Structure 1
Amino acid sequence: MLTPEQKANLVVVLAGARNPLNIGAAARAMSNFGFRTLRIVTEFPLPVTEAKSAVDAAEVMQQATVHTSFAEAVADCSVIYGTTAVGDRRLEHSVEPLPQAGQAIHASLSSGNRAAIVFGSEKTGMTNEQISFCSGLLTIPMEVHGTSMNLGQSVAVCLWELVREQAQGKPLQEEDALADSGSVDRFEATLREGLTATGYEAKFPANCNPEMTRRLVRRLRLTKKDAEIWTGIWRQVLWKLRQ
């Protein structure tokens, strides 16, 4: 079972939720399963203010943080799973069933790292830009493929999977600990500088738009050490190019 400290390292991110009742329902589901870290990405703070009166979820809502930037909301997370109903949408990430994704999230939490599960807008789901920040996507198996589940229900089902006794993940060794999103961002920024400096970006612009590059880098699932090494390599390349 997850310890209180591990549960505190699980971040539930609501990206674009607009209905205060849905936000409150998500917070209540978190409270029911003992999770407390809620981050809301929105440009409209009013629904968040209204949701603070959510029944049995006052503590979660009072501690919730509001972000205008999705990148900021997940910057300290090593594993980031976006949720999707799939449907007819073309996705660049592989989509894992919830139990499989739960194992990866468990392993990250067991290693002392932060992990995030992201839930998109009630109407449109996650944007392509938001998905590009994810290390993977998960879906809740349902009888009717492509249908979406209520936000509060989705949060409850995902968190229930994490607290099940059998959902035990093997802790990662320290040298295998995954880099957090902020470290990956820094490597990606250095990589993009290199693509520009070498002329690759100008010659093959379709291969390296920001979302594509971000997805490419995050599919590597870099460890902390690997992210540092690759960032150092590309900084050295840039230094040499600019001499």
Structure 2
Amino acid sequence: MAWRRNLRVVLVRSRNSLNIGAAARAMFNFGFSDLWLVEPYTAAFRKARSAVGATEVLKSARVTDDLAEAMGASSLVVGASGIQGRVQRQVRRSLPDAGHALRTHLQNRPAALVFGSEQSGLSNEQLSYCDWVLNIPTTEDCPSMNLGQAVALCCYEISRISRSVPKLKTPTSVSAIERHRVLEMLTPILEESGFIIPGQRASKLLKIRRWIGRLRLAPADARLLMGMLRQIDWKLQRDKRQ
């Protein structure tokens, strides 16, 4: 079905070739094909891609060092995380609720589902790119789930939702990559003004990225904001030269 093409699965810093292969196989089982890997361990990715029986999903997977690029045109970004303490000021949804929300969104809008590395999951910075967080309920004795299993569960949950999902209206918020561009334009201005100082840069940018995500900027509002930022930056640079 066409809606399946709207889902992008993003694996961040995957370390194990078997897990990469299992994730791709799970996507293939449920009809999803758009796989991106962010900073995978090179040897693991090469081994997974060259393995006998590697799926077309894996063979056509895209690789990048930039998480924002991997999320691309997605107007909804969901992070899968089982580490409760890391999620700060972000909506957390259970798997059934998340599956329904994603399925509805995917009817006519692109979305990205982001998974962290097997060793450490998604970092605070990586989670800050996400609109909300999906939680797969596991026991306290064994809270961490195998990457391939997690991808399979999520793909199943999304796929099992009724086919009679209504189409949503035209997207009203900008994509993840456009939100990232807003942050890139805003950052040097805030540094120039002294709002961001070197010792606090990482923590401030984390909070600002989350704030931009919560704004759910409409395309017209994003264009207006970026136009304002360009003008402010031009004025600051001109004053420095004088």
Fold match (TM-score > 0.5): yes
Amino acid at match of 1:234: L
Distance in 2 separating the partners of 1:207 and 1:48: 29
Segments of 5+ residues of structure 2 without an aligned counterpart are: none
Aligned residues: 238
Per the alignment, residue 211 of structure 2 pairs with 216
Identify if the C-alpha distance between structure 1 residues 53 and 206 changes in structure 2 by more than 3 Å, giving closer, same or farther.
Answer: closer
Distance in 2 separating the partners of 1:209 and 1:194: 13
Confirm or deny that 1:130 pairs with 2:118: no
Match of 2:47 among 36, 47, 50: 50
**Contact 1:99–1:161 at 8 Å: present in 2 too?**
yes
Identify if the C-alpha distance between structure 1 residues 223 and 161 changes in structure 2 by more than 3 Å, giving closer, same or farther.
Answer: farther
Identify if the C-alpha distance between structure 1 residues 54 and 47 changes in structure 2 by more than 3 Å, giving closer, same or farther.
Answer: same
Per the alignment, residue 147 of structure 1 pairs with 143
**Contact 1:31–1:56 at 8 Å: present in 2 too?**
no
**Contact 2:11–2:116 at 8 Å: present in 1 too?**
yes
Identify if the C-alpha distance between structure 1 residues 26 and 220 changes in structure 2 by more than 3 Å, giving closer, same or farther.
Answer: same
With normalisation by structure 1, the TM-score equals: 0.84
**Contact 1:81–1:135 at 8 Å: present in 2 too?**
yes
Of stretches 139-148 and 215-224 in structure 1, the one that deviates more from structure 2 is 139-148
Per the alignment, residue 158 of structure 1 pairs with 154
Match of 1:60 among 57, 62, 66: 57
Segments of 5+ residues of structure 1 without an aligned counterpart are: none
RMSD: 2.8
Amino acid at match of 2:151: V
1:136 shift after superposition: 1.4
**Contact 2:74–2:175 at 8 Å: present in 1 too?**
yes
Confirm or deny that 1:118 pairs with 2:114: yes
- Equivalences for residues 195-206 of structure 1 within 5 A: 195-202=190-197, 205=200
1:132 shift after superposition: 1.6
Percent identical residues: 38
Match of 2:19 among 4, 17, 22: 22
1:182 shift after superposition: 1.6
1:22 shift after superposition: 0.7
1:237 shift after superposition: 4.1
Per the alignment, residue 11 of structure 1 pairs with 8
Distance in 2 separating the partners of 1:207 and 1:15: 19
Distance in 2 separating the partners of 1:203 and 1:18: 32
**Tell me, what secondary structure is at the counterpart of 1:201?**
coil
1:11 shift after superposition: 0.7
Per the alignment, residue 185 of structure 1 pairs with 180
Confirm or deny that 1:82 pairs with 2:79: yes
Identify if the C-alpha distance between structure 1 residues 201 and 25 changes in structure 2 by more than 3 Å, giving closer, same or farther.
Answer: same
Match of 2:225 among 220, 225, 230: 230
1:161 shift after superposition: 1.2
With normalisation by structure 2, the TM-score equals: 0.85
Distance in 2 separating the partners of 1:144 and 1:189: 39
Of stretches 177-186 and 143-152 in structure 1, the one that deviates more from structure 2 is 143-152
Identify if the C-alpha distance between structure 1 residues 132 and 45 changes in structure 2 by more than 3 Å, giving closer, same or farther.
Answer: same
Of stretches 26-35 and 82-91 in structure 1, the one that deviates more from structure 2 is 82-91
